[in-house]
Chains A and B, each alone.
Chain A
């Protein structure tokens, strides 16, 4: 099959059984490898959907600048797809992520505006909103509030999972915008009663937590909490252990949130006698190489990750 453009290669990612990591014979564990998307993450799906929507509705005009807060993956996807459509792309990103993200964003032609790293993703969101208010000529897809985000997963990712693993009992994914869990969750629940949707939530480092105030608590509008059946907090340490298990046991090179999702999937699996779990691995490991997730001392890494934004 020949595709006319790299954007057409988004989606239809592989489903791989994790035979070595499944804790006991009654429970089958499957991984949806979203790192196989063109820019290496699940975010290609929502970037394509959000931009297609914006063009169709007239919100995005030819040549208009696209502005978005992102700690990496969504920005990279928007940069790749947006540039191909002829739009300048400006990404607001915390200044303490890994250098690979900056390199990839620039490779795909994006301009980067750095937000204070200590404020985490929410700081990037606030800065992007200020920039958009000050310059009404930009178009901001805003993945946290854009219905095309969960819809891409409801219409594409979810059905792909059902085709590959029709007997799915549990779906596990990392919680960021909530778009993946909401969209896939809706698709699975519509097709199969009793499916459980489980979120893996990152435990933010103290410094990132430090600037959070309860009064401005932010629950992303695209997250439909009624779709969730369970929610686990995963430490950076557990996430790193997870990415190491993925490569050592299964040969899968995946990013930090995938390690967190795996940790939760294994925890859920340990409580099941039989059934099938699908865990979504949101990105590949290439943007984390400089962080040394695979080879550095775990205690050193843990201390360092207290002050960084890696997913």
Chain B
């Protein structure tokens, strides 16, 4: 099982959890497992089966949009982070 960090804005859809465990060897499988546990999460995170443009997903800190997307492999010790896409902060 990999650990998935849920941002505050999505916690209402998962009963308030800050982190969840999900099974799967790829991001797609991990998300499917999450959606099976918490169906309300699906429409907030994906649009037409793709990551919504305003959500970023990272595996061990690396944004999957720039690697292999939903096909990115996820190991049992990997950390998955979901975050709203935003300005970095800037200065």
List residues of chain A with CB under 8 Å of any chain B CB: 41, 43, 70-74, 120-122, 125, 143-144, 174-178, 201-204, 206, 209-210, 212-215, 217-220, 228-234, 257, 282-283, 309-311
The complex places the Cα of A203 from the Cα of B58 at a distance, in Å, of 11
- Residues B87 and A220 in contact, CB atoms below 8 Å apart: yes
- Residues B7 and A212 in contact, CB atoms below 8 Å apart: yes
Q: In the complex, what residues of B have CB within 8 A of residue A178's CB?
A: 87-88
- Residues B88 and A174 in contact, CB atoms below 8 Å apart: yes
The complex places the Cα of A232 from the Cα of B9 at a distance, in Å, of 21
- Residues A282 and B81 in contact, CB atoms below 8 Å apart: no
Q: How far is the CB of B7 from chain A (nearest CB, A)?
A: 5
- Residues B88 and A176 in contact, CB atoms below 8 Å apart: yes
Q: Is B65 in contact with chain A by the CB < 8 A criterion?
A: yes
| Beta-carbon nearest neighbor of B61 in chain A | A233
Best-surrounded residue of A204, A231, A257 (most CB of chain B within 10 A): A231
Contacts A214-B84, A217-B53; is A72 near B66 (CB within 8 Å)? no
Q: How large is the interface on B (under 10, 10 to 19, 20 to 34, 35 or more residues)?
A: 20 to 34
**Can you give 6 A-B contacts (C-beta < 8 A)?**
A144-B87, A204-B89, A212-B7, A212-B9, A217-B55, A311-B90
Q: In the complex, what residues of A have CB within 8 A of residue B54's CB?
A: 214-215, 217, 219
| 8 Å CB contact of A311 from B53, B84, B89 | B89
The complex places the Cα of A93 from the Cα of B83 at a distance, in Å, of 23
| 8 Å CB contact of B89 from A43, A120, A231 | A120
- Residues A218 and B87 in contact, CB atoms below 8 Å apart: yes
Q: How far is the CB of A271 from chain B (nearest CB, A)?
A: 11
| 8 Å CB contact of B62 from A121, A122, A231 | A231
- Residues B88 and A175 in contact, CB atoms below 8 Å apart: yes
- Residues B84 and A230 in contact, CB atoms below 8 Å apart: no
- Residues A311 and B9 in contact, CB atoms below 8 Å apart: no
Q: In the complex, what residues of A have CB within 8 A of residue B90's CB?
A: 70-71, 74, 121, 143-144, 176-177, 311
Q: In the complex, what residues of A have CB within 8 A of residue B66's CB?
A: 228-231
Q: In the complex, what residues of A have CB within 8 A of residue B88's CB?
A: 174-178, 201-202, 311
| 8 Å CB contact of B55 from A70, A121, A206, A214 | A214
The complex places the Cα of A99 from the Cα of B27 at a distance, in Å, of 42
| 8 Å CB contact of A212 from B58, B84, B91 | B84
Q: In the complex, what residues of B have CB within 8 A of residue A175's CB?
A: 88
The complex places the Cα of A257 from the Cα of B81 at a distance, in Å, of 20
The complex places the Cα of A232 from the Cα of B85 at a distance, in Å, of 13
- Residues B84 and A209 in contact, CB atoms below 8 Å apart: yes
Contacts A214-B44, A214-B84, A233-B81; is A176 near B9 (CB within 8 Å)? no
The complex places the Cα of A121 from the Cα of B87 at a distance, in Å, of 8
Please provide the chain B residues from 2 to 54 with a CB less than 8 Å away from any CB of chain A in the complex: 7-10, 44, 52-54
The complex places the Cα of A178 from the Cα of B61 at a distance, in Å, of 18
Q: How far is the CB of A71 from chain B (nearest CB, A)?
A: 6
Best-surrounded residue of B55, B81, B91 (most CB of chain A within 10 A): B91
- Residues B91 and A257 in contact, CB atoms below 8 Å apart: yes
Q: In the complex, what residues of A have CB within 8 A of residue B8's CB?
A: 206, 209-210, 212
| Beta-carbon nearest neighbor of B85 in chain A | A217
Contacts A231-B66, A233-B63; is A283 near B91 (CB within 8 Å)? yes
| Beta-carbon nearest neighbor of B63 in chain A | A231
Known: A122-B87, A176-B90, A206-B8. 12 other contacts (CB 8 A): A43-B91, A71-B89, A74-B91, A121-B90, A174-B88, A177-B88, A202-B88, A212-B86, A217-B85, A228-B66, A231-B65, A310-B89
Q: In the complex, what residues of B have CB within 8 A of residue A214's CB?
A: 9-10, 44, 52, 54-55, 84
- Residues B91 and A176 in contact, CB atoms below 8 Å apart: yes
- Residues B91 and A311 in contact, CB atoms below 8 Å apart: yes
